[in-house]
Amino acid sequence: MGTRSGFYLGKRVVVTGAASGIGEATARELCVRGARLVLLDIDAAGLARVATIIGDLGGVVETHTVDLSDEAQVVEAAAAIQARGDVDVLVNNAGVAVVKPFERTSTVDWEWIMGVNVHGPLRLTRALLPRMKERGVGHIVVVASLAGLIGAPGMVAYSTTKFAMVGFAEALRLELAPHGIGVTTVCPGYVRTNLHHATRYDNPGFKRLLDEAPAIYGMTRESVARALCDAVVRKRPLIVLGPEKIAFWLKRFVPSVGFALSRLVARQSGIAEAH
């Protein structure tokens, strides 16, 4: 974990998707840095477990069990959070994944992933933003993905939602700059979390790729959490994490090479069918 930082001391930070993965690691990192935590997740048991860990570390924590795809629940949670004090930082981390070719991604799949990955963070941000603007301070974090910067074959729905959140964060950053509110987008490559096991799969190649990946492949959730917390302190607009980020730079500066490389990797791994 990171060292205690004066930036977070006493700050009230909301973290969604906090019952596991990057969200849990971020909560632990923020606790060490002195933040007061407000943790949201649909998993009540997981939230209770993380709250116990934070308490054992001497942290201040409150939890709210929320289905982010349910607007009424989001509005109710936001009201309860603000009734107990101001929010200094909002970390929109919660997310789900659908790994299926586009033609096999159903309407139900689209509604589920859009509800959690897009509508949820938009609603929560909209609910908490007015108070931030009134105070003239605050920071919003959007945990997107490298799949929000580079189209991911075999997981079109996931990539679509992450591209949406990258665009949301970029536009919001410009809109809120005059109000003293920062926005940071975090785009990691593959991270070793339990998202893989909770994913809706209809893509054997992709699932096999992750199932067979060596234990050392991918970033740890702790490394992402540290980078996220540091990026807020430094007011960085965008951080791209992991060795896969080379594909992002290739796409930006040599698009044809970046596309060819992504296509080759997808075909060889069985993520996308060759036609």
The string of DSSP codes covering 32-78 is: HTT-EEEEEES-HHHHHHHHHHHHHTT-EEEEEE--TT-HHHHHHHH
Q: How confident is the model at residue 166 (pLDDT cuts 50, 70, 90)?
A: very high
Residue 260 lies in a domain: no
Residue 271 lies in a domain: no
Residue corresponding to tokens 């603007």? 133
Its pTM stands at 0.88
What's at 93, amino acid-wise?
N
Q: How confident is the model at residue 184 (pLDDT cuts 50, 70, 90)?
A: very high
Please check the confidence at residue 275 and state whether its pLDDT lies above 50: no
Residue 2 lies in a domain: no
Among candidate residues 71, 73, 124, 126, the one with its CA nearest the CA of residue 94: 124
d(CA 95, CA 116): 6
C-alpha distances in angstroms, 98 versus 106, 122, 192?
Answer: 10, 20, 17
Please check the confidence at residue 160 and state whether its pLDDT lies above 60: yes
Q: What is the pLDDT of residue 1?
A: 42
Give the domain range for residue 39. 12-244
Residue 6 lies in a domain: no
**Structural tokens at position 263:** 């296509």
User: Which residues does residue 90 pair with via DSSP β-bridges, in sequence order?
Assistant: 14, 140
d(CA 53, CA 260): 45
Q: How confident is the model at residue 201 (pLDDT cuts 50, 70, 90)?
A: low
Phi-psi bin for 146: left (phi > 0), alpha (psi -120 to 50), beta? Answer: alpha
**Looking at residue 42, which CATH number applies to its domain?**
3.40.50.720
Residue 75 lies in a domain: yes
Please check the confidence at residue 270 and state whether its pLDDT lies above 80: no
Residue 76 lies in a domain: yes
User: Which residues does residue 139 pair with via DSSP β-bridges, in sequence order?
Assistant: 89, 182
Q: 111-125, 166-180, 200-214, 257-271: which range is least confident on average?
A: 200-214
Domain count, the chain: 1
Residue 215 lies in a domain: yes
d(CA 36, CA 30): 8
SS3 call for 191: strand
> Which positions are catalytic?
158
Q: What is the pLDDT of residue 152?
A: 80
Residue 78 lies in a domain: yes
d(CA 8, CA 14): 12
